[in-house]
Structure 1
C-alpha cells in the first residue's frame, strides 16, 4: 500500500477521535441525548359529564351532595342507567340516538327537575359503590321507593306499625326520624271494696323507650318546611323482643307516642321499665328469693 495513503487514513482517524473528545467536553462530558420519540396524541373524543361517587360508599349510608361529583366520560361508552348533565355528543346513527335519548330519560326520571346532586341527597346506598363509579338507580333507594325501609333499618332491627291519631301522636308533631317512648294505659285493680269505693283505676306503663320513628303512614320523610303530620299509622324501629312487647300492648288497647327531647336521644333504648319487670320471675327457695329472666 502506498505509504502516503496510509498516512492520510491515520491522520483522518486521529482527527475524528479528537473531534469526538472535544465535542464531549463541550457538552459537559455527557454523551449526546438520544432522540425522544413521542407517542402519537390520541384524537379528541366527545365526552359527557357523568355523576360518580367521590369516595367509597357502603350499604346503608345516607348520601349527601358532597358524596358525588361530575366526571368526564366518553360519550360512546355512556350507559342508559348513568346520570348525565344532558350534554351528550350528537348521535351519528339511529342506534346511538336511541341510546342518548334513553340516557336523558333515565336522568330526568331520577333527577325530577332539580340538580342531580340534590336529587340523590338523602338516598340510601343499597349496594356498595366504589369511588369514581357512576351513580345508578339500581344501587340507591330513595324515600317512598320499594326496599327503602329494609335498607334504612339498623342491623338486627324490625319495622313495626302501630295505629295512632293526632291525640296519641303529640298532635301530629311527631315526624319521621324523631325518637319516642311508647306508653299504654289500661285498667288496674279496683281501688277498694264496698259501696262508695273506687270502681276502677287506670294504670300507665312505658312499653318502649327511645325508639326511632321510621315513617308516618307511607311518608318516610317530612315535606319541606312541614312542622306537623297527622297520620293514622306510625312505623317504629324495634328489636325482636321489643316487637313482641309492642304486639301484646297493641292487643290490649291503643298506645300513645311520647316525643323525646332532641338532647335526650342518647338515653337507653328498648323495653320500658315495666316491660322489663314483666320478664322477670321471682322464685323463693328456702327463704331466699332469686330473680329469673324469662320470655313471656
Structure 2
C-alpha cells in the first residue's frame, strides 16, 4: 500500500475514534446505574387519649346532662392534667388529673359521660369542643355551688325550721313553698274576753327551696329530709320581707303543688281585709287574725 494512503487511513481512523469519544462525553457519557429508592418509612401511630369535651356552648348555670358532653380523641402529648380523661393519659398525667379532679376521680375510667357530669353545674362558660375541667364545673356540696345555682338577681337566705314547720320533712331541695309568718298581736277591742291574739299571714309565695341544712340535692330515692334550716331563693325585696317576718316570730313553710311552678312568685299583695276567728276552749277565748 502506498505509505501516504496508509497514513491518511490511520489519521481518519484516529479522528473517528476521537469524534466518537467527544460525542459520547457531550451526550453525558455512560448512563448512570439506576439508584434504588428507599421505601417510605411509616410514621408511628400517634397515641390518643379520650378527653371529655363540650358538645355545645355551655353558659354559666347550665345543669349538665349526657347530651351536653362526649368523649373525644385527643393527642396524648397535649393532654392537660386538668382534663377529664378515660385514664389512658401517658407520663403520669392520669395521676395529676386525679389529684386535680378529686371530686371526679372515681368517675374518670372511661364510663358513660352521663355519670361523669351527674349533678354538675357550669361555673364558668365552656365553648363547643372545649375540654371539661373541674375548675369550670361544680357539684352539690362543693364550695360555690349555691352561687352558681342561684337565678341571676336572686339571693339565698336561710330560715330555721322544724318537722312541724316544714311539712314533717317532706319538703326537699327544688320544691316550691309559701312562707307563713305568725306573731302575737294586741287583743281585739270588741272581743268577749281578753285573750291571746295570733296573726298568721302569708308573706311570700311560690319560693324555691335551694337547700336543707347543707344538702343542696336530695339523696337518690329520698322522700323526706328533717332539717334545722331551709335555704330559700329570694329577691332583694323578698329578703327584707323574710327578715322582718323572722324578727316578728317563727315562720312556717307551706309546700306547694309541683304544677304551681309557673305561678306568681314573691311578696304577697295586700289583702282585701283582715278577719278574726275567735276560738273558745275551756272558757278561754283566743282570737286569731287571718288574711284571705
TM-score by length of 2: 0.73
Residues 112-144 of structure 1 deviation map (CA, whole Å, 9 limit, x = unaligned): 358453131221111110111110001111111
Gaps of 5+ in 1: 1-38, 90-95, 278-296
**Secondary structure of the structure 2 residue equivalent to 1:273:** coil
How many residue pairs match? The answer is: 231
Residue 264, structure 1, aligned to residue 260, structure 2? yes
Q: Post-superposition, which runs of at least 4 consecutive aligned residues in structure 1 deviate over 2 A? A: 39-43, 103-109, 111-117, 191-194, 273-277
Residue 147, structure 1, aligned to residue 144, structure 2? yes
Alignment of 1:191-270 (within 5 A): 191-192=188-189, 197-270=193-266
1:45/1:53 CA distance change after superposition, 3 Å: same
CA drift of 1:186 comes to 1.6
CA drift of 1:189 comes to 3.3
Gaps of 5+ in 2: 1-39, 274-292
CA drift of 1:267 comes to 1.0
2:176–2:208: 8 Å Cα contact kept in structure 1? yes
2:203–2:268: 8 Å Cα contact kept in structure 1? yes
Residue 61, structure 1, aligned to residue 62, structure 2? yes
2:98–2:105: 8 Å Cα contact kept in structure 1? no
CA drift of 1:274 comes to 4.3
Q: Could you say which residue in structure 2 is the equivalent of 1:112? A: 106
CA drift of 1:88 comes to 2.9
Larger radius of gyration: 2
1:57–1:129: 8 Å Cα contact kept in structure 2? yes
Structure 1: how far apart are the matches of 2:103 and 2:206?
Answer: 37
1:125 corresponds to which of 122, 131, 134: 122
Structure 1: how far apart are the matches of 2:107 and 2:149?
Answer: 25
Residues 6-64 of structure 1 deviation map (CA, whole Å, 9 limit, x = unaligned): xxxxxxxxxxxxxxxxxxxxxxxxxxxxxxxxx99754211010111111101111111
1:207–1:274: 8 Å Cα contact kept in structure 2? no
Structure 2: how far apart are the matches of 1:103 and 1:86?
Answer: 9
1:83–1:106: 8 Å Cα contact kept in structure 2? no
2:95 corresponds to which of 87, 97, 101: 101
**Secondary structure of the structure 1 residue equivalent to 2:147:** helix
TM-score by length of 1: 0.72
1:86–1:104: 8 Å Cα contact kept in structure 2? no
